[in-house]
Amino acid sequence: MQFKYYIRTKVFFGKGCMFQNKTELCRFGRKALIVTGGRSAKESGVLSDICNIFDEFKIEYGIFDRVENNPSLETVTEGGKTARDFKADFIVGIGGGSPLDAAKAIAVLAVNDMDPTGLYSNTFANKPLPIIAIPTTAGTGSEVTPYSVLTRKDLQTKMSFGNEDTFPALAFMDAAYTESMPYDVTVNTAIDALCHAIEGYLSRRSTPVSDLFAIEAVDIFRQCLDRLINNNIDFDTREKLLYMAMLGGMVISHTGTTIIHGMGYSLTFYKDIPHGRANGLLLAEYLKFNYDSAKDKIDNLLKLLGKDDIGQFGKAISPLLGAGPLLNSSEVDNYSAITMQQRTTSFNIRNVTVSDIANMYKAVSSNE
Ligand code: NAP
Ligand code: FE
């Protein structure tokens, strides 16, 4: 048995956890740049709560609220310049995965005047500013991962970077901040968390510890499934989903993702399908593809999910996903070639060829 376990983030979880631990926010300096999108920080209530705390402790803050969904290199470059000009001591990311990932890149660029493509070298002359993460979705687990997934318009896909210094230093996880999430975002992010757990569990890089987190996350997803389908999502369920998302993040911090994410990026980039839904559409085909290479683990997953076989599981989650994308053959070829370029494709438990990927895309396409 050989593995590494490392999560650098100090996590506070539970209703009211930010107020209860507000002195933690004073550890990082006198000037904070808040990084967020157009609505999540305001609608969740995090922005007014944290501004009150900053006022109380006389911490000066600026707000960069221009992060779009699936943030681009261009946006984080602008954010990095804003942080540098403001002379921020630390960065606070508030929102779903998009603002949290952008916050990590901005924390690096604030202190490294470099071409943003240099982020992917994962070595930075100066250590990134400390990052505080406050999730308002329950899915990406970005609050406990080192990864920052950014849209590469030049490469027509999404790519992630991250090293041990891009783990958030601190995460406040309060399900009350996820209550304002629209229903579709709640569903898509829950599916993303499920995919993190499953891809990590079946990854070549899975470890005994990451498997524990993955199994627990899948079990929690089963507990929440009916409420997700029926849009009957109470606070207890929100808390479970946030916890599941955190566990999924802890899993992929060790294992990375595999081909579901690699394939899903093209569905997001070209078809504008939200990240979690893009992954979910591929999930059942991915399990079928890998079944012979990970029979015991996939049987265990199905047992945890209370399903007899992959087909039954696919049917159970289909109300959350809707119809697959319309893909023509040149799109399938293009997306498959792009997926093969993703580093994480090599982490898949079964060796993958470009035609395997193409077959999975065809199977989920509404054309077929
Ligand atoms: P998101 O793109 O951050 O947010 C989706 C939408 O929901 C946005 O319009 C957002 O508003 C809104 N929203 C979020 N929370 C809300 C709230 N509480 N109330 C009202 N509206 C709210 O969605 P996400 O699925 O969490 O993140 C997806 C991104 O994370 C993708 O780029 C994906 O690649 C990445 N990701 C990262 C990791 C990792 O390890 N770092 C893992 C998986 C995925 P705003 O306009 O304010 O943002
Ligand atoms: Fe994801």
Q: CA–CA separation, 202 vs 99, rounded Å?
A: 28
Which residue is it, tokens 């979705």? 137
Q: CA–CA separation, 298 vs 300, rounded Å?
A: 5
Residue whose Cα lies nearest atom 30 of ligand 1: it is 97
pLDDT of residue 368: 45
User: Averaged over 301-316, what is the pLDDT?
Assistant: 98
Q: CA torsion sign, 261 to 70 to 231 to 11?
A: positive
Nearest Cα residue to 305 out of 321, 285, 287, 290: 287
For residue 274, the ligand closest to its alpha carbon is 1
User: Averaged over 118-139, what is the pLDDT?
Assistant: 98
Kindly give the distance from the C-alpha atom of residue 53 to the centroid of ligand 1, in angstroms, as a whole number: 24
Nearest Cα residue to 281 out of 302, 266, 298: 266
pLDDT of residue 84: 98
Pocket test for ligand 1, best of 73, 187, 275 (most atoms within 8 A of CB): 275
Q: Is the CB of 185 inside a 6 Å radius of any atom of ligand 1?
A: yes
User: Averaged over 66-86, what is the pLDDT?
Assistant: 98
Kindly give the distance from the C-alpha atom of residue 60 to the centroid of ligand 2, in angstroms, as a whole number: 33
Number of CB atoms found within 10 A of residue 234's CB: 10
Q: What are the pLDDT digits (tens) for 170-196?
A: 999 999 999 999 999 999 999 999 999
Q: How confident is the model at residue 65 (pLDDT cuts 50, 70, 90)?
A: very high
User: Averaged over 309-316, what is the pLDDT?
Assistant: 98
From residue 47, alpha-carbon distances to 85, 136, 259 in Å are: 22, 11, 36
Of 34-38, 71-75, 86-90, 341-345, which gets the smallest average pLDDT? Answer: 341-345
Chain-centre distance for alpha carbon 125: 26
User: Averaged over 2-27, what is the pLDDT?
Assistant: 96
For residue 267, the ligand closest to its alpha carbon is 1
Q: What are the pLDDT digits (tens) for 238-267?
A: 999 999 999 999 999 999 999 999 999 999
Q: What are the pLDDT digits (tens) for 1-11?
A: 899 999 999 99
Q: Is 163 left (phi over 0), alpha (psi -120 to 50) or beta?
A: beta
Q: CA–CA separation, 39 vs 137, rounded Å?
A: 12
Pocket test for ligand 1, best of 46, 64, 98, 106 (most atoms within 8 A of CB): 98
Number of CB atoms found within 10 A of residue 366's CB: 10
Number of CB atoms found within 10 A of residue 237's CB: 20
Q: Which amino acid is at 110?
A: A
* Helix-helix angle 208-229:310-321, to 10 degrees: 60
pLDDT of residue 350: 97
Q: How many C-alpha atoms does 213 have within 13 Å on its Cβ side? A: 27
Q: Which atom, in ligand 1's list, is nearest to the CA of 192?
A: 43
Pocket test for ligand 1, best of 101, 144, 253 (most atoms within 8 A of CB): 101
Contacts of 301 (CB under 8 A, 6+ apart): 198, 201, 218, 287
Contact 248, 217 (CB under 8 A): yes
Q: CA–CA separation, 65 vs 219, rounded Å?
A: 36
Of 39-43, 83-87, 280-284, 342-346, which gets the smallest average pLDDT? Answer: 342-346
Nearest Cα residue to 116 out of 156, 72, 157, 158: 72
For residue 255, the ligand closest to its alpha carbon is 1
Q: What are the pLDDT digits (tens) for 266-294?
A: 999 999 999 999 999 999 999 999 999 99
